[in-house]
Amino acid sequence: MKRFVRQGFVSGLALSAALIAGAAWAKDDITIAMQLEPPHLDPTSAAAQAIDSVVYVNIFEGLTRFMGDGSIVPALAESWEISEDGTVYTFKLHEGVTFHDGSAMDAEDVKFSLDRARAEDSANAQKALFAGIDSVDVVDPLTVKVTLTEPNGNFLFNMAWGDAVIVAPESIENIKTTPVGTGPYTLGEWVQGDKIVLNRNPGYWGAEPALAQATFKFISDPTAAFAAMMAEDVDVFTGFPAPENLPQFEADPRFQVLVGSTEGETILSTNNKQPPFDNIKVRQAMAHAIDRQAIIDGAMFGYGTPIGTHFAPHNPAYVDLTGNSAYDPDKAKALLAEAGFPDGFETTLHLPPPSYARRGGEIIAAQLAAVGIKAEITNVEWAQWLETVFKGKNFGLTIVSHTEPMDIGIYARPEYYFQYDNPAFQELMTTLNSTTDPDKRTELMQQAQRIISEDYVNGYLFQLAALSVAKAGVQGLWANAPTAATDLSAISWSE
Amino acid sequence: MLRYSLKRAFSLAISLAVASLVIFAVIEIAPGDPASFMLGVNAQPDTLAALRTELGLDQSKAERYISWITGMLRGDFGTSYTYRTPVSQMIADRMWVSLPLALYALALSTAIAFPAGIYAASRRGKVGDLTVMSATQLGVAIPNFWFAMMLVLVFAINLRWFNAGGFAGWDKGLAAGLHSLTLPAIALALPQAAILARVMRSALLDILGEDFMRTARAKGLSRRQALWRHGLRNALIPVLTIIGLQFSFLLAGSIIIEQVFYLPGLGRLVFQAISARDLIVVESVVMLLVFAVITVNFLVDLAYAAVDPRLRSRT
């Protein structure tokens, strides 16, 4: 009744306050806050992670799906068979699955979804996931056969992405505002700029989730995020933007703090084609000039795992290569002198908006200055970053977190913005893609990690931490973020 | 009066036309491609090209300017690139938060400033005056976002009288809506009230020194009667100017406050649209705000004429 009393002074509010209090006690609803609002709700036609954070495995499901520990398990596909040569996947679909509009989900819908994603005019932001598909054939209503042009060890992983969810041709036209999927939740209400409400889907084919309703709120300002959590306006904040406030939540018995790992390798991206960065000695010198722990402590308040290559530390195939670029300013100076820059040089450092870049950039610039490299800082918005750095390749250095899962393959694309061109690495990736044997794959992935680490392609800083704050009674939240998602089915209230 | 109004209306139209050109030019020149932003780093060139065509970004800038302007004249603000909903509908939705917030803040600011200013002027040089003046000095100096955070800390986190932010929605009733707008309105209003109170005081003091005030006193009115009957009306001109400016500021300038209280208003819409390079939304909302500002100034000009008959003849 405490809540009732304190709001009761505004007489008109008494009733609504009682309703709020009542609902809180029943504990089958939850309010989850995050920083960014999805621009729309179609995960198959935009790169915005905020879309997946709301709809992935809640509204939409794919053939396979990510679990919180990063593993890939069956979703709409109950099982599958892979042909001897690894090019034909035959998926057996779950029986009795319906879309939110009541229509049945069958092999035709799978064919439609995959064909739409790989079509010429497709707006899919991750079209490369579908590039190896040669044809999709309906065998019977519950069996679909996907033929690949060549074996692809990543295929089941690719099908788990939010960009590969199954959609229906009948509801595709308005998918951006009225998403119709097969998931355990349906879209209740979207007040743009404010909140999205999801309701439990009574006709769901799988197990019934504990929460009847979930409200997503969007709070971009870090101070407001802190206040909303402290005032208990929201129950959970995923991707909490103010790491400096976490100790305060940790000390407060009303809350719990979850610190996990993301797929975000945060790197000092280096333009490998632009002199003097085309000289490996210069890149090596920079790597030794950087004190990772100082950046993690100073910019992230201690949250983050140091990395020595472009690979997630929580992945079983990860190799710790931080030793290749241990902090050693004297060695950095010697290497610079060897490369012909005894007095250092000047370059640019473009910093996108996230605090890992803005705060980390200041520290890195100071560390580089200590060995004679003057990096002129330019703060940019994302749109500007995409235009000048990513597309225009008009930069020396930049800091960015590469959040796509398992994205070491970008080093095999010489036109990619950091412009690393190593035929041996490209060949290795081709081999990796066509290898399905798990042990062999691990070996190849470790080899790949070593090559880019020893080539000092980029400055490898740290793995971005997944930081969430929640009320003490919330259980089942993903601590790690193997993909952008809020798996509502796993969440419940204790007591 | 009619000639005066027509003249004002004409300059209003010219201002709007110039503003539309400037807004379009500035926003289009800023680097950043909406399609690349939406599709991210792994987008393939053919996907980008398809989206650009779909959004009409492959047309020339002149063509886009013309279609934007002609659309707006017909009341069609276009369709948001990212949200894919009509911009006019988005603006209408957000207006239901921003407009009441601005009016609420303006009402608060006026309600505080008028008595404070009049009181200070009537107690000139005395303790009361000094107290009010130091308080307003403080009010002018405090940045409103910091003040907003302090309000949240005290009234939302400690006392729990209000939510830390968010908007309940008018469908929950007038009281609930106003309740969620109260802290933001106070945060917006207090610095404005401080300015307004100072203007009110000095305007009144100027008037008190005028000959007609002495005449009024000579005719037998008490100090207070003279102030109410003759002083106040004459002091209103500078005060109205400030109120007009403040309303425009409150409507267009609540971007930061809307962020701090995560209110789904126009300011937040512009903020999101700028970072997403949702050009059509930015252009239309900014144009609308310019329109609002210019219109408010136009109304203030007309109000001058109503308060001060001398302006009507001086056309």
**Per-residue pLDDT tens for B140-184?**
898 888 899 999 999 999 898 998 888 988 888 899 999 999 999
> Which amino acid, A409?
G
Residue B79 reports pLDDT greater than 90: no
Do A259 and A480 contact (CB within 8 A), yes or no? no
Do A117 and A127 contact (CB within 8 A), yes or no? yes
Reading the block at residue A432, the tokens are 């990796």
Q: Which of B173-195 are b and which e, b meaning 16 or more Cβ less than 10 Å from the residue's Cβ?
A: eeebbbbbbbbbbbbbbbbbbbb
Higher pLDDT, B8 or A218: A218
Reading the block at residue A69, the tokens are 């520990």
Q: Which of A43-71 are b and which e, b meaning 16 or more Cβ less than 10 Å from the residue's Cβ?
A: bbbbbbbbbbbbbbbbbbbbbbbbbbebe
In this prediction, residue A229 carries a pLDDT of: 95
**CATH number of B87-313: 3.40.50.1820, 3.40.50.2000, 1.10.3720.10, 3.30.700.30?**
1.10.3720.10
Residue A6 reports pLDDT greater than 60: no
Q: Which chain A residues in 460-489 lie under 8 Å from chain B, judged by CB atoms?
A: none
Closest chain A residue to B153, measured at CA: A227
Q: Which helix (H) or strand (E) holds B207?
A: helix B174-208
Tens digit of each residue's pLDDT (9 = 90 or more) over A12-31: 444 444 444 444 455 899 99
How much is the CA Rg of chain B, to the nearest whole Å? 24
**Contact: B173, A220; criterion CB under 8 Å:** no
Which residues of A are less than 8 Å from B41 in CB distance?
47, 386, 390
pLDDT band at residue B277 under the 50/70/90 scheme = confident
In this prediction, residue A489 carries a pLDDT of: 94
**In angstroms, what separates the C-alpha of B39 from chain A's closest C-alpha?**
5
Does the beta carbon of A224 lie under 8 angstroms from any beta carbon of chain B?
Answer: yes
Q: Taking phi first (over 0 means left), then psi (-120 to 50 degrees means alpha), and beta for anything else, what does residue A79 get?
A: beta
| Domain residue ranges of chain B, discontinuous segments joined by + | 87-313
**A390-414: average pLDDT:** 92
- Dihedral sign, Cα of residue B152, residue B153, residue B157, residue B159: negative
**Contact: A233, B153; criterion CB under 8 Å:** no
Residue A196 reports pLDDT greater than 90: yes
In this predicted structure, which of A5-14, A135-144, A279-288 has the lowest mean pLDDT?
Answer: A5-14
Higher pLDDT, B244 or A130: A130
**Contact: B260, A223; criterion CB under 8 Å:** yes
CA distance B270 to B281: 7
Q: What is the DSSP letter of A330?
A: H
Reading the block at residue B269, the tokens are 């819409």
**In angstroms, what separates the C-alpha of B272 from chain A's closest C-alpha?**
9
CA distance B130 to B201: 12
User: CB within 8 A of A347, min separation 6: which ones?
Assistant: A277, A373, A374, A375, A376, A396, A397
In this predicted structure, which of A48-62, A75-89, B55-69 has the lowest mean pLDDT?
Answer: B55-69
Q: What percent of chain B has pLDDT over 90?
A: 24
Which residues of B are less than 8 Å from A353 in CB distance?
275
Cα torsion through A329, A330, A335, A341, rounded to 10 = 80
pLDDT band at residue A110 under the 50/70/90 scheme = very high
User: CB within 8 A of B310, min separation 6: which ones?
Assistant: none
The whole-model pTM stands at 0.84
In this prediction, residue B303 carries a pLDDT of: 79
